[in-house]
Every structure is written in structure tokens, then in C-alpha cells.
Structure 1
Amino acid sequence: MSELPQPPAVNDLLNLRGRTVLVTGASGGIGASIATRLAEAGATVVAHARNKPERLDDVLAACRERGVQAYAVTGDLATAEGVHHVAEEAVRLAGDIHGVVNNAGLQPLSAVTDTSVTEFDDVFAVNVRAVFLLTQILGNRAAAQGHPLSIVNISSIEGEVPAPHHSHYAASKAAVIMHTRAAALELGAAGVRVNAVLPGLIHRPGIEDGWPEGVQRWHNRAPLGRLGAGEDVADACLFLLSDAARWITAATLRVDGGVTANQPF
């Protein structure tokens, strides 16, 4: 029987100093909040955007203001070549990768009867295949190098509860949940933990004006009575990447203000 490890001191549980984390889709919204929060915890951050590295300038500046190193990588996660490029560039710039937050994703609106094959494939390429490839590439590398790796996949509550005109998106996020569990099962022996965060409705500028009825419905149904903030998702990622979650893998953590606790009828 293996000896149980000594737990870290409480003050060190969320300390990411000495670790490097790749955050995909970090140029705005939730991704920017995640990158900045991880920097605040001491992590070296590799921030990804699909193109135009200048879109990452504010994120990198915010990370560096917190006293850590931060790097930008660009690449199209819709292609296998682009995913490999992002992984290789992250390693070239920052060395060993100890954490990955698969945050990049597409969320188009299209009725199931109108969605084209191309639209469907585009969503799955970014939302699912890129997650699989980064897990495979960096999981294999971590196992070969002998260092631990924690992967956090950003799924959605729509992976469990679909919404109209989101069939392809909801299906892709359900796939992410199952891929998370399968990867955790296979990679645990190599010291790789894989977990998923399922955000609910997250505030973005203008959402109250653009979708007032939806925001009001959310306020009425969410037990905690508000929209989520990017930092709410970021803190869930921080927890799962940290030593506070050292014996947690294959988990799905809902970050939705409790809205999915409501009865569906």
C-alpha cells in the first residue's frame, strides 16, 4: 500500500508559483479572467488567441503586473496543425507545461433543422477535437518528462441541459464532459488530472440590453440571483489546477449560481 502524501499547508493550497499554465481563448471574456487570476496565484501564463497577438496585450500586461512571466501564442485550433503549433510554441516559450485550461470555443446559433455539416464540423473541431489533441500532446509529454499535469476543460451546463438553437454546441460540450472522464481514467497513472468546469450564463458587456428577457429569466431561476462573472469561472479553474484539488480528477464542477438545481417542469 502506497504511503499517503502529506497535505500542503493551508496558505499554500492555491499557490501556483513554479508552474506554467496554458490558457486557450485568452484574449477576452472568461479566458482573460482565467489567465489573470492564475497569474495572481503565481503561475507563469501562456495565453492563446486564434490570431492577432496584439489582442493579448492587455491580458499579458495584467499578468505581468502581478509579477509573473507571461507569453502569447497564436494558432487556429480548428486544425490539427494549429493545435500542434500552439502546444509546441507554448513549450518552446515557457518550458514544461503543468496546467492547461481548454477554454477556447465556438457558440453559434442555429436551429437543428438549419445547421449545415460545415457549421457542425467547425464547432466540434474547436470545442472537442482541440481539447482531445491538447490533452494527448501535453499529456504524453508530461508522462515522458515525469512531471504532473492538471487539465481543466471548460464545458457548459448546456452539456447537460440543452437550449434552443444550440444543438451542435450542446452536443460538443457533452462530448467534452465524457472526454474529461475518459482521459482522467487513462492518464491518472501518469500523474495527469483532468477535470471539467461547467459555467452557466456569464456576464458580458451589453448582455442586458441585447437579451433582456433571457437575463431576467436567469435572475428569476438562479438561486443565487445573479449572472456569473469571469472570475467565478476563473476561481473554479484555479481550485482544480491547485494542490487543493490534488485528489480530484474526472470531476465536473458546475459554476452556474445553482440554476440547474431548478426542476425542469
Structure 2
Amino acid sequence: MTGEFGPRNGLLDGQVALVTGAGGGIGRGIALRFAAAGAAVAVHFRTNTEAAGEVVALIADSGGRAVALRADLTVEAECRRVVREAADWGDGVLTALVNNAGVQPVQELPGMTVAEWRAVVDANVSSVFACTQAAAELRSEPGGRLRSITHIASIEAMHPAPHHAHYAASKAAVVMHARSAALEYGPHGIRVNTVSPGLIDREGLTQAWPEGVRRWQQAVPTGRLGRPEDVADACVFLASPMASWITGHDLVVDGGVSARPTW
């Protein structure tokens, strides 16, 4: 497999992974890269049945194994259900979880309501907590083989942008959740890390935000926007045996923009 799949490499042979929010964007890239690395992939989606089905079809057409699973991850019971369904589909096995699903609204902090704040926290943090807890509990079951959990955070966890207060705070919480989970789940053989992307290209981004894209390209040492595959490759690495002694770590994937001086 080539292109957005990347070459087959066998890094995740025998693994069963659940990728949340895998219908499009970064999640799609992660699901496809996991399949290219040999994993069977449960493709979670919330509303876009067609997009999730396309990811599953691409994986199947390339000789992989995948299933689409719908769930509203702002509801705890739905988090637990989709984790259980992924494991049951994997014949009782779930080896990797990638918590990618989330929202990124734009809103000024003055005037933001508590309900609007909570909507972002529920989608970006509470879902991560509930899915992680549910997946970790599988470790104690017969055949339980969970090894790796990866949360998709953001460089905004440390470098907030205007009108992203709720988003930046939620991603900072995700980073600290992973560190705390690494501490408590480590003795059970589960590693927990985060990947913090910078600006990732998507269809229509340059047209919708030309000034922001221009500023990013001027600032980033590598001279380009990120691609979903850049984030996906980091996630594959963290789920692979090559990262067997890496946990509680935030892997920044931003083309080096965080290294740029701000003074």
C-alpha cells in the first residue's frame, strides 16, 4: 500500500486497534496507517456513516481488516459500548486505543457560557477518560492484551491561540490525563502517551484561513503544513514494540514551529 496508507511495514502485525473519530482528517490518516502496519482497525464515527464506510472499504480493498462503529462519545455509556464492540469484533482482543475524536470550535472567551465550555470538555476530555478507563479494564479479562493508549492532544496545550480557550484547556487536560494514566496503568502493562500536532492541512483550509496558513508557513522551520499521515506515523510508532519503554510522553508533531523563539 502506498500514498496515504504508506508502505506495509508489519510494525503492528497481530494488533487490534480502535481509532476514535476515524471518519476523516487526522483520524482517517491514523486508521489507514494502522492498517498499513498490519493492525485490524475498528473505525469509530459519530455521524458520518459514508466517510467511515469509505475508510473501511479502503482498508479492505488493500487486504486489511476493518469495521465501522458508531457512538456518541460525549455519553459515558456509549464510550464503554464502543470499546466493548471493538474488542468483541477482535475476538476478545484490543491491543491499542487512539483517542482522536474531538471538537475545535472558535469562540471568544468573554461571553462564553458554561454550557459551551462543558460541550468542549465533554467531547475532548471526558470521552478520553471514559474510553481509556473502559479499554484498560479489558486488560483483566481472559485474552486481555491492551498495550498502548494514545491521545491526540495539540500544541495548543502549551501555546493557546485566541478564541480557543476551551479547546486549549481541554488539550492541556488531555496531556495531563495521559501522564496520570501512564503512572497508574503502567504496572498493568499499559503505556499511555499523547501526540500533539501543529497545524494539519485539510481540504479548504488555505481558502478559509489564508492569513493563518501564510503565517504558519513563514514560522515553521520545515516550511509546510502538517499532513494527517505525519500524526498517524507518530501514533503507529507509539503503538509499536519500538516504543515499549515510552510512556507518559507528549510527542510533538509540528514541523518544529514550537522551537521558534517568541521574543
TM-score range, shorter chain: over 0.9
How much does 1:138 deviate? 0.8
Task: Kindly provide the amino acid, as one letter, of the partner of residue 17 in structure 1.
Answer: D
1:134-165 deviation line (CA, Å, top 9, x unaligned): 11111121144452420010000001110000
Partners of 2:214 and 2:124 in 1: how far apart? 28
Deviation at 1:208, TM superposition (A): 1.0
For 1:82, the aligned partner's letter is: E
| 4+ aligned runs moved over 3 Å, structure 1 | 143-146
Alpha-carbon distance in 2 for matches of 1:147, 1:30: 25
Match of 2:27 in 1: 31
What residue in structure 2 maps to residue 186 of structure 1?
184
Aligned residue pairs total 254
- In the other structure, the counterpart of 1:128 is 125
The correspondence for 2:74, drawn from 75, 78, 83, is 78
Equivalences for 1:88-127 in 2 at 5 Å? 88-94=84-90, 95-127=92-124
- Give yes or no for the alignment of 1:219 onto 2:206: no
* Residue 57 of structure 2 corresponds to residue 58 of structure 1: no
Q: Distance in 2 between matches of 1:14 and 1:38?
A: 10
> Distance between the aligned counterparts of 1:55 and 1:36, measured in 2?
13
Query: Which residue of the partner structure matches residue 9 of structure 1?
Result: none
Query: Offset at 1:65?
Result: 2.4
Residue from 129, 136, 140 that aligns with 1:139: 136
Contact persistence 1:14–1:244 (CA under 8 A): no
Q: CA RMSD in A?
A: 1.4
Displacement after TM superposition at 1:196 (Å): 0.2
Unmatched tracts of structure 2, length 5 or more: 1-7
Query: Do structure 1's residue 167 and structure 2's residue 168 form an aligned pair?
Result: no
8 Å contact from structure 1 (residues 14, 243) kept in 2 = no
Correspondence for 1:46 among 33, 37, 42: 42
2:3 corresponds to which residue? Answer: none
Partner AA of 1:130 in structure 2:
S
- Normalising by structure 2, we get a TM-score of 0.93
Tell me the TM-score normalised to structure 1 length: 0.92
Structure 1 unaligned runs (5+)?
1-11
